Amino acid sequence: MSRTRTLLVLITGMLIGAMLAPIAAFSAGTDTASGIAVVKAAKRCKKVDAGINVTANTKVAATVLTDVSGVAVQAVVRKKADDQLRICLNVVAPEPIEVSWIAHNGSGLAHFGHLHDGRYYTEAETDAKLATKADKADLVDAPGGAYNYNKAGDIVKDTDLFVSELVNTEIRVPADGYVAIEATGNWRGATAGTDQAACQLQKGAATGFSVSGNEPWFRLAEGGSGQANLTAFSAHRVMPIFAADNPGGALEGQRIMLVCDGEDGSLQASQLHISATYYPTRYDKTRSR
């Protein structure tokens, strides 16, 4: 009997000693704890034992999991008598909510103010993820278009003092890119002699334009038969466009136009339609202003 009593005393002493033994030391810079706590409505302090030691670098953060609009949570570090970390979650909510919390006591870990997906990403990992995301400028810099229609049209004569603008539209671009211009319409000669005009799709000012032989242009011409019937025409041009050339007014755009210079006789154009489509990128290897 005495031997049994002695054995019980030894076992009891070992158990008590294990219970009273100090908590094992934690490695500064690596200790992390996390969990989910249910906090009652209008709870000023929900105490949660984190299970790590408090150090000079201990940090804690919490995020509301329950979908309650406008509710935030404040996580405050509390130190227990045995140097263990206790978190006080302060929440003011109209109903019980779940709060996800995370704490660490390491100076070498990333500082956090919100949760990631259970761990913290290195700078290289973050850069790699961001590299696959669309740039904000790309989201804004999307194709767009403008158009105009001039049913009555105009008459272009060889005696005109200035080059005639037959139809125009305006387009305001968000960034540098390219503009594709298309124009269609009907035309006919207005005299018994030769009627012809040199025409060009352009981008520029409303006055002072001319037809440049160094840029794409086309000619509308008939050989003197007194053409009475209307003939359809179409023209297309792609050219660079720059955001720096946008006018100062927010509702104004760069002028896109079809101009014609009378060369012989008189030429009548009508049913004129022009469109301009902006594209934010290019696929060729050359670029000129």
Pairwise CA distance, residues 177 & 96, whole Å: 54
Residue-wise pLDDT for 120-174, tens only, equals 677 888 888 887 776 655 556 677 889 899 888 888 887 887 888 999 999 999 8
Weakest mean pLDDT among 50-59, 130-139, 241-250: 130-139
pLDDT, position 110: 46
Annotated domain spans of the chain:
24-110+119-133, 140-279
- Per CATH, which fold does 24-110+119-133 belong to? Immunoglobulin-like (2.60.40)
Q: Determine the CATH number of domain 140-279.
A: 2.60.120.760
Secondary structure E strands in the chain: 32-39, 46-53, 59-64, 73-79, 84-91, 97-104, 144-150, 154-157, 164-171, 177-189, 195-203, 218-222, 231-241, 254-264, 266-279
pLDDT, position 117: 52
Residue-wise pLDDT for 246-265, tens only, equals 998 888 999 999 999 999 88
Candidates 115, 162, 169; CA nearest to 260 is: 162
Angle value at C-alpha 258, between 155 and 249, nearest 5 degrees: 120
pLDDT at 7 over 60: no
> Has this prediction a pTM greater than 0.75?
no
Residue-wise pLDDT for 64-90, tens only, equals 777 777 777 878 877 777 777 787 888
